[in-house]
């Protein structure tokens, strides 16, 4: 069982829809991450929150909007997506904030997103 | 800048045979190295990590890896594989993200390990 929980597991949305992906961890971790993974590729970093503040945005298009309501929750709001945004979206957390080098990431099982 | 190269995109092995998945990294500074496994339709699970100390690192599921600084390698090994080891394996290095000096994981392209009966 993973200690990082992501909902929903699967999501199909049209290009005009607005939806949200949710991520939750109760390990007391202080950094949380969103990754995007296309088929047969490694995960690509999108956003990092450290101590509930957005610390890294890897030049992600504005149709993806992250939110960290508290230290245990991370959301990714989706609006006006394109078919090429279809992918597995992974959430992860690590014990220390971004300055905690070497702190391993704990991943959720991801949300499989299909944009039609 | 740090980078990771996984030398084999696919590795087929017979059950109970030994396996080695190769990983080389590039970095001008001290690094932290990781191996993650991804089973079908799941997220990534940490197999093992090297932060400092002994260069032979033992992980879960009988896997181990050896850090070799002179060869800039961190190869993953298992003496006897099982069907259940079929998965994608990612090597990763912890990179320093400028300008905040924060940690960022850089992944290799992955190695698909297939165990045949």
Task: Give A-chain residues touching B44 at CB under 8 angstroms.
Answer: 43, 90, 92, 105, 107
Please report which confidence band the pLDDT of residue A98 belongs to, taking 50, 70 and 90 as the band edges: low
At B88, the pLDDT band (50, 70, 90 cuts) reads very high
With an 8 Å Cβ cutoff, are B102 and A50 in contact?
yes
pLDDT at B77 over 80: yes
In contact, A87 and A38? CB cutoff 8 Å: yes
Residue B32 to residue A4, Cβ atoms within 8 A: no
| Placement of tokens 């080389």 in the chain | B24
- Please tell me whether residue A99 adopts helix, strand or coil conformation: coil
Q: Is B43 on the interface with A (CB under 8 A)?
A: yes
Q: Residue A98 is nearest to which of B44, B46, B103, comparing CB atoms? A: B103
Partner-chain contact A109 B107, CB within 8 Å = no
The mean of the pLDDT values for chain A is: 92
pLDDT tens, residue by residue, A50-83: 889 998 899 999 999 999 999 899 999 999 999 9
Per-residue confidence at B2, pLDDT binned at 50, 70, 90? confident
Give me A33's structure tokens: 């991450």
Q: What is the pLDDT of residues B94-112, one digit of tens each?
A: 876 655 556 778 899 999 9
Long-range contact set of residues A38-43: C-beta below 8 Å, sequence gap at least 24: A38/A87, A38/A88, A39/A87, A40/B110, A41/B109, A41/B110, A42/B90, A42/B107, A42/B108, A42/B109, A42/B110, A43/A90, A43/B44, A43/B90, A43/B107
Nearest to B112 by CA among B3, B4, B2, B13: B13
Overall average pLDDT of the B66-73 stretch: 93
Residue in B43, B51, B108 closest to A109 by CB? B43
Mean per-residue pLDDT for A25-32?
92
**A91, A95, A114: which is closest to A17 by C-alpha?**
A114
Which residue of chain A is at minimal alpha-carbon distance from B92?
Answer: A42
Is B59 within 8 Å of chain A by CB? no
Neighbours of B21 (CB within 10 A): 24
Chain A and chain B share a number of CB contacts under 8 A equal to 67
Q: How far apart are CA B38 and CA A55, in angstroms?
A: 27
Rounded to an integer, the average pLDDT of B26-32 is 76
Of all residues in chain B, the one with the smallest CA distance to A87 is B41
């Amino acid at each position: 069982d993973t200690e990082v929980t992501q909902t929903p597991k699967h999501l199909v949305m049209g290009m005009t829809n607005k939806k949200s992906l949710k991520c939750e961890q109760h390990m007391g971790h202080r950094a949380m991450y969103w990754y995007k993974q296309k088929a047969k590729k490694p995960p690509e970093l999108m956003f990092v929150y450290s101590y509930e503040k957005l610390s890294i945005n890897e030049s992600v298009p504005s149709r993806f909007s992250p939110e960290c309501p508290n230290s245990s929750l991370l959301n990714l709001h989706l609006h006006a997506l394109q078919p090429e945004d279809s992918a597995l979206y992974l959430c992860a957390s690590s014990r220390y904030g971004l300055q905690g080098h070497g702190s391993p990431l704990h991943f959720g099982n991801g949300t499989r997103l299909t944009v039609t | 800048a740090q980078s990771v190269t996984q030398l084999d995109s696919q590795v087929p092995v017979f059950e109970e045979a030994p396996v080695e998945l190769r990983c080389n990294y590039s970095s001008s500074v001290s690094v932290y190295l990781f191996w993650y496994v991804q089973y079908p339709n799941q997220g990534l699970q940490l197999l093992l990590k090297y932060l400092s100390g002994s260069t032979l690192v033992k992980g879960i599921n009988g896997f181990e890896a050896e850090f070799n600084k002179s060869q800039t390698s961190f190869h993953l090994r298992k003496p006897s594989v099982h069907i259940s080891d079929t998965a994608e394996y990612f090597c990763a290095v912890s990179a320093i993200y400028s300008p905040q000096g924060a940690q960022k994981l850089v992944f290799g392209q992955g190695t698909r390990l297939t165990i045949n009966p």
